[in-house]
Amino acid sequence: MTKSRFTMRPVGFVRSPYRTTDEIPHGIGARHTTEGSLEILPEFEPGLADIEGFSHLFVLWVFDRAGKSSLVSHPPSDDRPHGVFATRSPHRPNPIGLTVVRLLRRDGNRLEVRGVDMLDGSPILDLKPVLSSVPEAELRRGWLAEAEARGVPRRNPPR
């Protein structure tokens, strides 16, 4: 017997300088060095114990302003469409974002981080420590590498 729906709730919210998606760097060569903070709700603060020993965290969050999902995506890094699961499009069947941030410091229930690419106020679902990396030499990046090789110019994503 399989449940067909799962209900998630915010454990906190992202504080970022980005108020609109246009302000967020997108596409090939986009660097995410923007600083922001992860404000965890006080009731979940005990779950942060010992998190300060980790340099990098996975942030799972909600694209809460993404609108309609689509199985085909037109990413800003390419002039060709791709399946949504082969992209980081916000318009996903389950609108969950995944961002790796560098943890700069913790101040109680507030984590100061570098690398935010979320809109201000985005709900956080979970945090996890990054424990290991895929060696760069083993990573194949499919259509993204091909688009880079073709020299596709960066453009703003369609909305």
Give the number of other CB atoms < 10 A from CB of residue 34: 18
The whole-angstrom separation of Cα 140 and Cα 126 is: 27
Closer residue to a second copy in complex, CB, 15/82 = 82
Smallest separation (angstroms) from a second copy to the CB of 145:
8
Q: Give the residue among 131, 130, 103 at the shortest CA–CA distance from 38.
A: 103
Smallest separation (angstroms) from a second copy to the CB of 125:
5
Q: How many residues does the chain have?
A: 159
Closer residue to a second copy in complex, CB, 36/57 = 57
Q: Give the residue among 113, 144, 146, 138 at the shortest CA–CA distance from 32.
A: 113
Smallest separation (angstroms) from a second copy to the CB of 74:
12
CA angle 80, 82, 87 (to 5 degrees): 120
The contact set with a second copy (CB under 8 A) reads 2-11, 13, 40, 44, 46-56, 58, 60, 62, 64, 71-72, 81-88, 92-96, 98, 100, 121, 123, 125-136, 138-146
Closer residue to a second copy in complex, CB, 7/20 = 7
Smallest separation (angstroms) from a second copy to the CB of 23:
20
